Amino acid sequence: MFIYIIRHGETDLNSKGVMQGWVDEPLNESGRLLAEITGREMRTQGIRFDGCYSSPLIRAKETAEIVLRESGNPVDILCDDRIREIHFGDYDGKALERDKQEAFFLHPFEFGRFPGGECVQDVCRRTQNFLKELIARDDDKTYLVSGHGCAMRAMLNWLYDDPSNYWHGHVPYNCAVNIIEAHGGKAKLIADDKIYYDPKYCVDLYAVK
């Protein structure tokens, strides 16, 4: 079994560096382009998907639709609430104050729960529940999973060499892909934040400077 976990393409809110969370924002032109390039390169590499799961948020679904179309993989997209982005609560659609930004991106496990929203431990539980359930199928299929930056880090946290390093260096770039190989219920990460486009387009507007 192979599982390709992709972060959605860029949105206007991403480009502003605000906390998007459960705000249902579509991709912008740049986001669609990165998804198209990613899908076309996957076609070139002969990657074939047998199934696809997506967060129900439109930016993730749109990314999945574009990647599947451009890669020549006309499979149905099944939405699962467990892989939606972290709920930033009162901060959905807003920028974090400097002190909160530093706390969340430098010490996420100690940050606690966003007012009216979730904490990273909540997201780890639900996303890992989804991923481990998928891995337990132990079939010979290849899946595309389309989701979000914080949720991706939460989903993969148990597979990292150092789970205490939640952000794994940075927020995943838009349309970055992490690839899992799983057999006999055991999984390993074989590609880490792989991109299929020119690296000059990699942007992390959430980095603490």
Identify the pLDDT of residue 106: 95
Identify the pLDDT of residue 208: 74
Cα separation, 68 vs 90, whole angstroms: 34
**Between 87 and 208, where is the model more confident?**
87
pTM of this structure: 0.97
With beta carbons less than 8 A apart as the criterion, state whether 31 and 60 touch: no
Of 3.40.1390.10, 3.40.50.1240, 3.40.630.40, 3.40.50.410, the CATH number of 2-201 is 3.40.50.1240
pLDDT in tens, 99-135: 999 999 999 999 999 999 999 999 999 999 999 999 9
With beta carbons less than 8 A apart as the criterion, state whether 42 and 17 touch: no
pLDDT in tens, 129-144: 999 999 999 999 999 9
Mean local confidence (pLDDT), 50-58: 98
Identify the pLDDT of residue 133: 98
Q: Which residues are catalytic?
A: 8, 85
Give 206's contacts (C-beta < 8 A, 6+ positions apart): 17, 101, 105, 149, 171
Supply φ then ψ for residue 151, to 5 degrees: -65, -35
Closest CA to 175 of 162, 160, 194, 159: 194
Cα separation, 25 vs 66, whole angstroms: 16
Identify the pLDDT of residue 66: 98
Q: Mean pLDDT over all residues of the chain?
A: 96
Tokens standing for 20?
């998007």
Structure confidence at residue 209 as a pLDDT band (50, 70, 90): low
pLDDT in tens, 55-74: 999 999 999 999 999 999 99
Identify the pLDDT of residue 50: 98
